[in-house]
Amino acid sequence: DLDSLAEEEAKQAVARRSLLLSYPPDKDETDLELALDYALERGCHQIRIVAALGGRLDQTLANLVLLTAPRLAERDARLDDGLEEAFFIRQHAAISGAPGDIVSLLPWGAAAEGIVTEGLRWPLRGETLFPERTRGVSNEMLTAQASVRVAQGMLLCVHRRRSFPEAPASG
């Protein structure tokens, strides 16, 4: 709805040829929900959402809940602030990072069954994680790549990097 975008920032965005979509401030959807609708209408399969993990707990939780929508089941949608990323695993996911990065796997809504991990310090080999237990919290990546498979249920994956990723060199 652009209600928090300063006029000067809007002018700079337009000068950079950014697309600005305006919505009424009084609406039933959050800005992120509208942005996800826009991305899905255009067929996006990989979606990275920045600036959605801090500030207000209610907004952060709402942003996470949006990622559970069935329409995102076949998409790779992640909230990412540079230091942490959060996303849901319904079947399989790859995690790119560095040795020592923290990976937490939290069952969402119900038990998650048949979980198999690779590249993590404490592997899971077909185990079940329960939402009222903390067994999946604070695992560590052993290599730059890890993977998680889940046979049934859904996992919230929170990947905390040891440091901010380096920006690509500009040429």
Of 20-34, 113-127, 150-164, the least confident = 20-34
CATH number of domain containing 115: 2.60.120.320
71 plus 91 within the same structural domain: no
96 plus 153 within the same structural domain: yes
Those residues whose C-beta lies under 8 Å from the C-beta of residue 39, and which sit 6 or more positions away, are 47
User: Quick one: how far is CA 91 from the chain centroid?
Assistant: 15
Confidence check: pLDDT of 55 > 90: no
pLDDT of residue 113: 98
pLDDT, mean of residues 118-139: 97
pLDDT of residue 8: 82
d(CA 8, CA 114): 52
Those residues whose C-beta lies under 8 Å from the C-beta of residue 117, and which sit 6 or more positions away, are 105, 123, 124, 139, 146, 147, 148, 149
d(CA 157, CA 148): 9
Q: What average pLDDT is seen over the chain?
A: 89
pLDDT of residue 64: 94
Last residue of a domain, one of 52, 81, 110: 81
Of the ranges 9-23, 70-84, 130-144, 154-168, which is most confident?
Answer: 130-144
Residue 83 in contact with residue 164, Cβ under 8 Å?
A: yes
pLDDT, mean of residues 137-163: 96
119 plus 46 within the same structural domain: no
Query: Domain tally for the chain?
Result: 2
pLDDT, mean of residues 69-75: 92
Range of the structural domain that residue 56 is part of: 30-81
